[in-house]
Structure 1
Amino acid sequence: MNKITIAIDGFSSTGKSTVAKQLAKHLGYVYVDTGAMYRAVTFYAMQNGLISAVDFNKEALIYQLPNIEITFKFNEALGFAEVYLNGVNIEKEIRNLEVSSYVSKVAAISEVRQKLVEQQKKMGQDKGVVMDGRDIGTVVFPDAKLKLFMTASAETRAKRRYQELIERGDKVDYKDVLQNVQERDYIDSNRKDSPLVKAKDAIEIDNSHMTLDEQFNKILQLAKMTIEDLE
């Protein structure tokens, strides 16, 4: 059976990672969470005092990029690969609201994007990969056979993200989560380097009123149809 590259882009908290993991597992493909890579760089910046609510030392972060090694290791118990920063598992640490509040600013730096896009291209060179992010179908894999663009209202996404954080035990306010979603949307869509845009040949999936099963089944059918067309 022919293998393809599946690129999933879209706004924050649209469930890109969830459906990408499901799809990769079902097809036996490799899953790459590019958002986790940008979160890992953000976490490094936070750990090293390079970014805060009042300051962001971009030059220092760019200078220290060679010191940042990001890897993924498959966790059989969880069924997906976790992200490691310089050999340390940071999967849980990068999923909080504080990292979310800074990640779009870090991702807007051209040198950061260049470093990570180069790694992402290498990860997908053999195809058989499902990759999600903001510029996968436009920059990383412009020739991907299947491109999806995930969207939903900001309020719907904020509610999902809020519930996820609460279930994890984080103490957050819904208004703060909504503000974070809206701010990230603006930064992601208006940055100069690889802004979030829908690729011309991407299929838009508005999952505002879809269940996880409905979403997965629809996308799985699209993937199967794309693969069958190559045979």
Structure 2
Amino acid sequence: MSERFTIAIDGPAAAGKGSISRAVAAHYGFAHLDTGLLYRAVGAKVLLGMAPEEAALTLRAEDLEASELRSPEVAQAASRVAVLPAVRAALLDFQRSFARRAGGAVLDGRDIGTVICPEAEAKLFVTASAEVRAKRRHAELAAAGETSSLAQVHADVLERDARDSGRADAPLKPAADAVTLDTSAMTLEAAIAAAIEIIDARRGGSGGA
């Protein structure tokens, strides 16, 4: 399959963009990249004492598979290194090359439609209220054995939102031509169906692969 079709899915933490992106990629038979994992992997290296830019430049595929990448500490470290222009520049080429691979690609993150792939054929901005996102993240952490309180998770969500939206380099915001999908009152299945409907419209209704 030689199709080059890029789907850019952005949004804040715990809005559902990761689950939606994986399902969308499976539906169309496209490759998927969770770009947040790149920054989490860099953040994990920084927590071990490596300089941020060096961590980004030496990133390897196996670094994206480490089990600790989903921890709250790594998430906060990822958000801190993501504001650094040198880190973002180091990861830019990898993401753009992935996006234009033959066979189609789905990338999710915070600046895919605005900075990484402004030419993407389909762009979604997946969001939800901070309260709903905090409850979702708290449930995820509880299932993983973490003991953070809902109040602390909510505070972390707001802190990360402020940092991601307020950074000078590639702030979190919808692309001008992105379709916003608010999942606050949606089941995951409904959100996936809505995303596919939006993307089908951009593909001319060609449907799945």
Question: TM-score, normalization: structure 2?
Answer: 0.92
**What's the counterpart of residue 141 of structure 2?**
165
Answer yes or no: is 1:61 the counterpart of 2:52: yes
Deviation at 1:137, TM superposition (A): 0.2
**Cα distance in structure 2, aligned partners of 1:108 and 1:166:** 28
Task: Give the conservation status (yes or no) of the 8 Å contact 1:100–1:180.
Answer: no
The runs of at least 4 aligned residues of structure 1 exceeding 4 Å deviation read none
Task: Give the conservation status (yes or no) of the 8 Å contact 1:40–1:70.
Answer: no
Task: Give the conservation status (yes or no) of the 8 Å contact 2:5–2:100.
Answer: no
> What is the percent sequence identity of the aligned residues?
38
Can you list the C-alpha shifts for 1:206-229, whole angstroms capped at 9, x where unaligned? 110000111011111122222126
**What's the counterpart of residue 81 of structure 1?**
none
Can you list the C-alpha shifts for 1:96-120, whole angstroms capped at 9, x where unaligned? 1111222211100001001112110
Can you list the C-alpha shifts for 1:166-190, whole angstroms capped at 9, x where unaligned? 0111221111111110011000001
* Counterpart AA for 1:17: G
Residues 143-154 of structure 1 mapped to structure 2, 5 A cutoff = 143-154=119-130
Answer yes or no: is 1:226 the counterpart of 2:202: yes
**What's the counterpart of residue 19 of structure 1?**
20
1:202 to 178, 185, 201: 178
Answer yes or no: is 1:105 the counterpart of 2:80: yes
Long gaps (5+) in structure 2: none
Can you list the C-alpha shifts for 1:111-169, whole angstroms capped at 9, x where unaligned? 10011121100111225000000000001110111100011111110000000110111
**What's the counterpart of residue 70 of structure 1?**
60
Provide the alpha-carbon RMSD of the alignment. Answer: 1.9
Long gaps (5+) in structure 1: 51-59, 72-83
* Counterpart AA for 2:41: A
**Cα distance in structure 1, aligned partners of 2:89 and 2:25:** 25
- Which structure is higher in strand share? 1
**Cα distance in structure 1, aligned partners of 2:16 and 2:148:** 20
Task: Give the conservation status (yes or no) of the 8 Å contact 2:11–2:127.
Answer: yes
**What's the counterpart of residue 6 of structure 1?**
7
